[in-house]
Amino acid sequence: MGLSNLMVFQRAEMLFRCYHNCIPKSGVQGNTV
């Protein structure tokens, strides 16, 4: 439990935020990248 755990958490949070930020802009069926 250390840097790797923190990095995974940060990456998951970033992806989660990007997901929620991209969905409303592009619509339900849009770019998920």
- Say if CB 3 and CB 13 are below 8 A apart: no
Q: What is the pLDDT, as a whole number, of residue 11?
A: 92
Question: Torsion angle of alpha carbons 18, 21, 24, 30, nearest 10°?
Answer: -30
- According to the per-residue pLDDT averaged within each range, which of 6-10, 20-24, 28-32 is highest? 6-10
Over residues 2-28, the mean pLDDT reads: 80
CA-based max dimension of the chain: 38
Percent of the chain with pLDDT over 90: 21
Q: What is the pLDDT, as a whole number, of residue 23?
A: 65
Taking CA atoms, 11 is separated from 4, 7, 18, 29, in Å, by 10, 6, 10, 23
Q: Which residue has the higher pLDDT, 16 or 28?
A: 16
Match 């849009």 to its residue by tokens.
30
**For the whole prediction, is pTM greater than 0.85?**
no
| pLDDT above 60 for 30 | no
